Amino acid sequence: MDLDRVISRARNVMLDPLGEWPAIAAERSSVGEVFNPYVLLLAAIPPFAGFLRGSIFRMGHHPLGFFSGLRWAIFAWLVSLVAIWLFALVIDALAPAYGGTKDRVQAVKTAAFAHTPVWIAGLFHLFGSLGNTVTILAGLFSIWLLFLALPHTMKAPHERTVGYTIATVVLGAIVSMALGWLVHGLSPRRHLPPRPPVSAQVGESLPGPAVPGGPAIPAPGEAIPAPPAPGSGAGFKPGPAETAPDGSTVLDEFKRRMESAAKKMEQARQSGDAAAQRDAVGEAVGTVLGGGAKVEALSPEQLRAFVPASLGGLPRTKISVERNGALGLQISTARATYGDGDQSLQLEITDMGSVRGLMALAQWASVLHEQETDDSWDRTRKVDGRIVHEKWDAATQAGEYGVVLGERFAVKISGDVRQVSTLQAALRGIDLEGLEALRNQGVQK
């Protein structure tokens, strides 16, 4: 496959997936032919865009030197190749369970070509924070491409494709998480002098009221209750996000939307109108991920109102607010920096309006994570029905604390501070109740 064919394949996968997947499935090829040059070239885009930004243009908070950055880019590129291979193994292994046919080459095709939007989105890492938004949208689009691919490449029955897709994404996420830990463990770090251990900070009081309408903020180092035994049902409390009035679950609704969107796309394809097909792709992706409705994210002016002039006793030094869209999806993000020269905080408020349906699915799934060492921890848990994430590293005196509101808004505070309680207390300076009250703003049924 030459460069022109690589470009043509990437363009067709993204703009005409219903026509391209049957062609991909019918092609006679090998694993090597899929990897070389398609995967080798496209997988190099994100890490080397990051290398250009951090090591050549010297942008970002902690840019690396030329050789350190280059080594890191090569390492990340190799890890991404391994990730595609492992993802293909997951697709192949799950095929019989969902009525499909095991075929290693077809599984590699599926994993590689469905990942196309994420790789291309890596170009936007050159533009800083915009790259994060575009990557999120691209990842969601990749899930949709996977759903469209499985009936053709893995011969899965249409009625079982939704379950196959969800199972693949869940197991694939576990694989990605494991690789992420590997990359994080081997990534270059700043060399700083030793800091007091976390135990020295435990017991710090948190002044001020609890977060209005939000989860109770745990004290630094507070023990996390042990999770319930598998199958016990303990800790699971169905609510509006989990169970609809007719008794259906979020998962049932997600399946229904995907199947309905696929039918609309097939109708557009049968019409023979290329423009209608492209419009159908955008509408289908937006509807599926938006919870059955099109959602217009908050305007920059609306989101800016939730960024205070000072936070945690530190003055605001920088602010940026933007709204981006692609394929009928919209995401708004506000970012601000606070500091006094000694300490610094970064606030990020994201309106995931167009993908609130997927946010609801994440809430329903109760994704939990806990990792702890002598001087650091990283944990995600559900508190009062909300997803809360906390991360702290005493060695570098840096961390982050965030919460998801209304299955739509993500609020995160991070920074280089003396103690994690500073991050937790700073969250109280945000009008979380007011933000959550806008959960249905811009929703078009």
Is 104:94 a contact under the CB 8 Å cutoff?
no
The 10s digit of each residue's pLDDT in 122-158 is 888 777 666 666 777 788 889 889 999 999 999 999 8
Which residues on neighbouring strands pair with residue 318, listed in sequence order? Answer: 337
3's CB contacts (< 8 A; 6+ apart) are 37, 41
77: nearest Cα among 26, 34, 43: 43
Which residues on neighbouring strands pair with residue 243, listed in sequence order? Answer: 249
Q: Provide the 10 A C-beta neighbour count for residue 375.
A: 16
Dump strand ranges (E) for 263-408: 294-295, 310-311, 314-326, 329-339, 344-351, 369-372, 376-383, 386-393, 398-405
Highest mean pLDDT among 92-101, 206-215, 387-396: 92-101
110: nearest Cα among 150, 170, 161: 150
Paired tokens of 408: 């739509």
User: CA distances (Å), 114 to each of 2, 20, 230, in order?
Assistant: 19, 11, 33
pLDDT band at 279 (very low <50, low <70, confident <90, very high): low
The 10s digit of each residue's pLDDT in 60-85 is 545 567 777 788 888 888 888 988 99
Angle, vertex CA 62, rays to CA 56 and CA 67, nearest 5: 45
438's CB contacts (< 8 A; 6+ apart) are 298, 302, 406, 409
Paired tokens of 437: 């009250």
Q: Provide the 10 A C-beta neighbour count for residue 65.
A: 12
Nearest 5°: phi and psi at 337? -120, 135
Distance (Å, whole) CA 254 – CA 327: 19
Give the pLDDT score at 261. Answer: 62
161: nearest Cα among 365, 290, 153: 153
Taking the CA atoms of 439, 441, 444 and 445 in sequence, report the sign of the dihedral they define. positive
Give the pLDDT score at 381. Answer: 79
Element (H, E) at 107: helix 104-114
**Number of helical H runs and strand E runs in the chain:** 16, 11
Range with the lowest mean pLDDT among 32-36, 119-123, 266-270?
266-270
pLDDT higher for 253 or 74?
74
Sole residue written with tokens 């019409």: 271
Mean pLDDT score of the chain, rounded to an integer?
Answer: 74
Paired tokens of 114: 């469905």
Q: What is the largest CA-CA distance in the chain?
A: 68
Q: Provide the 10 A C-beta neighbour count for residue 17.
A: 24
Distance (Å, whole) CA 138 – CA 130: 12
3-state SS class at 390: strand
Nearest 5°: phi and psi at 323? -130, 125
Distance (Å, whole) CA 318 – CA 79: 35
DSSP 249: B
3-state SS class at 99: coil
Give the pLDDT score at 256. Answer: 62
142: nearest Cα among 98, 91, 69, 183: 91
Region 78-105 average pLDDT:
92
Range with the lowest mean pLDDT among 32-46, 256-270, 292-306, 358-372?
358-372
